[in-house]
Amino acid sequence: MPTELWLVGHDSLAGRYELITDQVEGGRPVYRLCSKNGSQPEAFLWFRGGNWGITNSLKASPMAAPFLARCADLSGRARHPLELRRPRWQVRRGRGQEEPDAALQLLASEPLDDKGAVAAVEKSAIPDESLAAAGTPPAAVLVTGRVGIHAEANGRYELTGATWRGKPVYAQRTSEEVDALSLFFEQGYWVIAPDVCSLPRTVARHQSQADSSHPACSSGAAGRPWEFLEDESKRGHMVNMNTRTYAPDRKVVLRIAEASEGSHASDAAPSAPVSSSRDEAGTPFAAFDPPNRGSPKSGCPEQRRFPSEGFPRWVAEASAEIHGDEVRVLVTCNPGVAVNLASLDLSVGSHSLKVCLEGQESALELQLPAAVDSDLNPVARWSEKTRTLRVRLSLLQ
């Protein structure tokens, strides 16, 4: 349990809140505002009626002690306010009147300056300060840090010249023909989605203020991590209702990209002869005859297409190629097979890749055309349109 919290973004309520060790309300801790030289009125941060909020006294009645600011605990499981998954603070403006305040934030450590930590973190997250100050959208931004499901959101996004809601639209730069994502502003969020529209199927999102001119302005804001689609359900017959659940990922970072970052060569190369083989345990897997090739760093992709005789029944075809500083594997699945990234298990060896699909007895094992770094997590993308799984593996340095 944190012994102190720092609130920023609100003049009258900002400051350090200290844990009252002998006070518990509703099974949760109570924090008191430490006033500077008695200049601030007494205030408490505590849990009441499904909300973490700030009041002037510890009274159960909302009439006697109305919330000056509050944030609903939607899950009901937060043991202290820093555990709130998606904090949405509401500030009291008058009797029975509240309005959201995105500037109000709770921090686990002391702010970097008197104005709060948000401005300082945002400033450090933007390498070109003159660009950020002018509000000019950068030519490209880079998203990094996502691992596992929806790792396809990583990559370079370039300015398209189009606008949506008066803000710039970025398109993901990819050497593949399908499934390029877009980055744009919608309903208070910078979102990553396949289509630019009013109701997108958002893969990832980052809450931002309405006056942010481009996504790098607020990507580093403290307490506002990127959120990724975790679960999706659909109900109804005549009228459908889609419910999506998002989970924060604090490892994901968006920043302004340099001119050479995130770009790869897109040349194609002819395939080489392949043959069938077995591993040491006797399990059949696709292999290839090593050709006379140059350095894998030469930038010319080298593709190997595997024979389908040893494939599991759910696999139609597979291929692997050296592309720049990585190996790219393409696996096409047969129609009728239910596939999603959550049902896949990828096991990477220095020269092999094993793909297991939930509900299928046999696994696909491929021998790779070059040594890869098995300590790094692979990047996987699934296209329902082409029924193709794309896996990217980093070459061993």
Please tell me the distance from the alpha carbon of residue 104 to that of residue 5, in angstroms, as a whole number.
Answer: 13
Give residue-wise pLDDT tens across range 27-75: 889 999 987 665 667 899 999 888 999 999 988 888 888 999 999 887 7
User: What average pLDDT score do residues 132-139 get?
Assistant: 67
Residue 39 confidence (pLDDT): 63
For position 382, what pLDDT does the model report?
A: 83
Give CA–CA dist 373/353, Å, rounded: 11
pTM, two decimal places: 0.38
pLDDT at residue 192 in the model: 93
Over range 119-131, report the average pLDDT: 38
Maximum mean pLDDT: which of 166-175, 214-223, 233-242 = 166-175
Query: What token pair was written down for 127?
Result: 């390498």
Residue 301: per-residue pLDDT = 44
Higher pLDDT, 207 or 294: 207
**Residue-averaged pLDDT of the chain:** 75
Residue 269 is predicted with a pLDDT of 34
Average pLDDT rounded to a whole number, residues 208-212 = 74
Check pLDDT > 60 for residue 78.
Answer: yes
Highest-scoring range by mean pLDDT, 144-148, 300-304, 372-376: 144-148
Output the pLDDT for position 261: 64
> Does the pLDDT at position 116 exceed 70?
no
Residues 330-388 pLDDT 10s: 888 888 788 877 778 888 888 888 888 888 878 888 888 888 888 777 888 888 778 88
150 pLDDT band (50/70/90 cuts)? Answer: confident
Distance CA 57, CA 67 (A): 10
Q: Which residue has the higher pLDDT, 119 or 228?
A: 228
- Does residue 286 have a pLDDT over 60? no
How many Cβ atoms are within 10 Å of 166's Cβ, its own excluded?
A: 8
For the cut 60, the answer to whether the pLDDT of residue 240 exceeds it is yes
CA dihedral 157, 163, 166, 172 (to 10 degrees): -20
pLDDT value, residue 131: 39
Question: pLDDT tens for residues 3-20?
Answer: 888 888 888 888 889 999
pLDDT at 149 over 70: yes
CA separation for the pair 393, 263 (Å, rounded): 16
**pLDDT tens, position by position, 262-275:** 654 333 333 333 33
Beta-carbon contacts of 260 under 8 Å, excluding residues fewer than 6 positions away, are none
- For the cut 70, the answer to whether the pLDDT of residue 209 exceeds it is yes
DSSP state of 279: -
**pLDDT for res 379:** 83
Residue 8 phi, psi (nearest 5): -130, 160
Q: d(Cα 148, Cα 341) in Å, to the nearest integer?
A: 8
Residue 304, pLDDT > 80, answer no
Say what the pLDDT of residue 179 is.
66
Retrieve residue 307's tokens: 């024979």
Q: What is the CATH number of domain 274-394?
A: 2.60.40.790
| Location of each CATH 2.60.40.790 domain in the chain | 274-394
Give the three-state DSSP class for 23: strand
